[in-house]
A and B are shown apart, each in its own frame.
Chain A
Amino acid sequence: MKVLVGYKRVVDYNVRIQVKPDGTGVVTDGVKLSANPFDDIALEEALRLREKGLAEEVVVVGIGPADLTAHLRNGLAMGANRAIHVQTADAVSPLTAARTFLKLIEKEEPGLVILGKQAIDDDANQTGQMLAALWDRPQATFASKVEITDGKATVTREVDAGLETIEADLPAVITTDLRLNEPRFIKLPDIMKAKSKPIDVIELGSLGVDAADHIKTTHYSAPPKRSKGVMVKDAAELVAALKQKGLL
């Protein structure tokens, strides 16, 4: 079985996000960029399936500008067999990402696609669901446990009410939740080996994907600063203050 893994690059989740002064986006220059944490979990899960003998090949897929190569090399160093770099200088919406994956699926014919449940930059939580619909295959989202047997995936999902276990026929789309696994460290000797692993570069335009932007982001702004707390002397003053704010 071949496993396709989405591997997006985002601003590291420990970085304090700053909005550009002109409101056209967030500052990414000189800022630590890392793999989307849920994508690291997706890749880790694919590698574990391969190590268990349930998958033969793990392919990481990135959609983005030319300098995404170094990021994909990290995915290769972590253990993916090869990488596909779909090049575009434009921002990629979830729908465009899903359509791109569909084109790659037609070519690669994977038995399983594992994506992060969402990327921590836009927090859209859409690509996996859209892809399953376009591909007309089952989806198992928010996975916290995955078992593969006899062409079926048994997936434990983290839902509001607790845990839900579902069965999906393969091929299918799985999206990962935080507790699925703990991604391994990248070993330095593997970075050296990853230099010789293949990265296929495909222009997004050449895939025939409709990449039209249906949604336009007009402005970015930082959330309002939290105002300072107020000290009150006693319960009566607290009640009065809350009433004044219309909270009681």
Chain B
Amino acid sequence: MTDPRLSELAHLLPELKISTDPGDLEHHGRDWTRRWTPEPLAIAWPSSIEEVQGVVRWANAQGVAVVPSGGRTGLSGGAVAANGELVLSLDRMNRVLGFDPIDRTLTVQPGIALEAVHNAARERGLLYPVDFAARGSCQIGGNIATNAGGIRVIRYGNTRQWIAGLKVVTGTGDVLDLNRGLVKNASGYDLRHLVIGSEGTLGIVVEATLSLTSPPPPSQVMLLAVPAMDALMKVFAEARHRLRLEAFEFFTDRALHHVLAHGAQRPFDETHPFYVVTEFDAADERAEADALAFFEFCLGEGWVVDGAISSSEGQAAALWRLREGITESLAPHKPYKNDVSVRISAVPAFMAEMQDLLSAEYPHFDVVWFGHIGDGNLHINVLKPADLDNAVFVGQCEHVTSMLVETLARHGGSISAEHGIGLVKKPWLGSVRSEVEIALMRGIKAVWDPNGIMNPGKLL
């Protein structure tokens, strides 16, 4: 460790684990995006709040930027360190600190994986309901920093709804103990909610108190084949009316094509333009009869043409794999990705308009749509044609983004539904937020992080 700044850090915090190993730098310097070459100064793994504070104070003194780092499963470059930053990895702060059965809260360190939170809640007969495909690797601190959503938002809301308390180290190295698990706390600005979704630009989450809830009754998973886009929202409205929905997701035939090529089990013999995966409470035979009645009704209306239902938890998982396996199955095709939202009712008009624009300008593109349609959240993926030069493709995709931003603006939507702004969406923040809003955000950042060391260049 020849860099004097690192020698100083090692001197100040002798117990702190630090690495400048090239493998570590590459691995911890990036997230699931691949646009930037990782080039951090070093990786540090603090194991206590005091060590996090120490690192932040050192960073202020030395003028080194800090990139807070969790599971790095993000898709917006929020955890990328490509400019000589210190990556502050929370991997070692991954324990459950406490459980209160009366408050029904679980207190955890930020580096715990989402799946470990699920398991800890389940062991106590309760549920932490925020869930998405990256659950095995993503960490709760990153979930909080991006206000992560996922597949059960329709029933349980985003991460924000489940944060009862936060301990945060600010950009000045101070520790805030926010809300302390209170259910009611009408005492001015709720700073906890500023931190949630702040993408590491205000401070570092060092402890979180999570609300838990009762597990839902047994559920069933249904896969529906939908013949047309305008039928999708009718099926959704009908399902929400008749069933207690846990999730309502859609994907296109192109998405299914890639998942099947990746080894998933084919659900139907014929292909159909759209598919819906929905999960709903099926506690008793009446609930199951309601589900069948819902299907028969939609079939009668011509809104669905085929369907399959899980007869076991294993089959439920197999049906979910058709939806959750999409991202992984697309990865080899170097997809251009966007994660956008519009009001639920505006989904078909927005999607039709966007698809028409794409077909007209880039008829050779393989465009894959999927997402949390019940939340108005769509993931659009454009796959790089094998014969197209990567640079040309990236250029064309930038134009796709402009088209997307304009179309979203016409429909009052957002360029980032749940992935965050990070580096990827930064040029487009102004399309979602007004100038006054952005000025206020900058002002807030200046107060929390006067030296601008917290994840600089991200979001703002």
Contacts and interface: CB of A to CB of B under 8 A. Distances in A.
- Chain B associates with chain A: yes
B218 A188 contact: no
Task: Pick the 9 closest A-B CB pairs, nearest first.
Answer: A188-B307, A14-B313, A34-B312, A185-B308, A32-B218, A188-B295, A12-B313, A187-B308, A74-B311
Contacts of B306: 187-189
Interface string B258-295: 00000001011000000000000001010010001001
A185 B312 contact: no
11 contacts: A12-B313, A13-B312, A14-B313, A32-B218, A78-B311, A182-B265, A183-B315, A186-B309, A187-B268, A188-B308, A189-B299
Nearest to A182: B265
Contacts of B218: 30-32
Contact of B315 (A15, A31, A185, A191): A185
A6 interface: no
B417 interface: no
Interface in B316-347: 317-319
B309 A191 contact: yes
B401 interface: no
A30 B216 CA distance: 11
A74 B317 CA distance: 18
Interface of A: 12-16, 30-32, 34-35, 37, 40, 70, 74, 78, 182-183, 185-189, 191-192
Given A40-B311, A185-B311, 14 more contacts: A13-B312, A32-B312, A32-B313, A34-B311, A34-B313, A37-B314, A183-B315, A185-B310, A185-B315, A185-B318, A188-B224, A188-B299, A188-B308, A191-B292
Contacts of A34: 311-314
Contacts of A14: 312-314, 317
B222 interface: yes
A183 B309 CA distance: 13
B283 A30 contact: yes
Contact of B292 (A16, A40, A192): A192
A13 B317 CA distance: 12
Contacts of B23: none
B305 to A, nearest CB: 9
Interface residue tally on B, bucketed by range: 20 to 34
B218 to A, nearest CB: 4
B285 to A, nearest CB: 6
Contacts of B268: 187
Nearest to B294: A188
A48 B318 CA distance: 20
A30 B285 CA distance: 11
B21 interface: no
B313 A186 contact: no
B223 interface: yes
Contacts of A183: 315
B223 A185 contact: yes
Contact of B312 (A16, A35, A188): A35
A19 to B, nearest CB: 15
B296 interface: yes
Given A30-B218, A30-B283, A189 B312 contact: no
A187 B318 CA distance: 14
Given A31-B218, A70-B285, A188 B309 contact: yes
Contact of B319 (A15, A32, A182, A185): A185
Contacts of A15: 313
A194 to B, nearest CB: 11
A192 B288 CA distance: 12
Interface in B208-250: 217-218, 222-224
B276 to A, nearest CB: 12
A46 B7 CA distance: 70
B217 A30 contact: yes
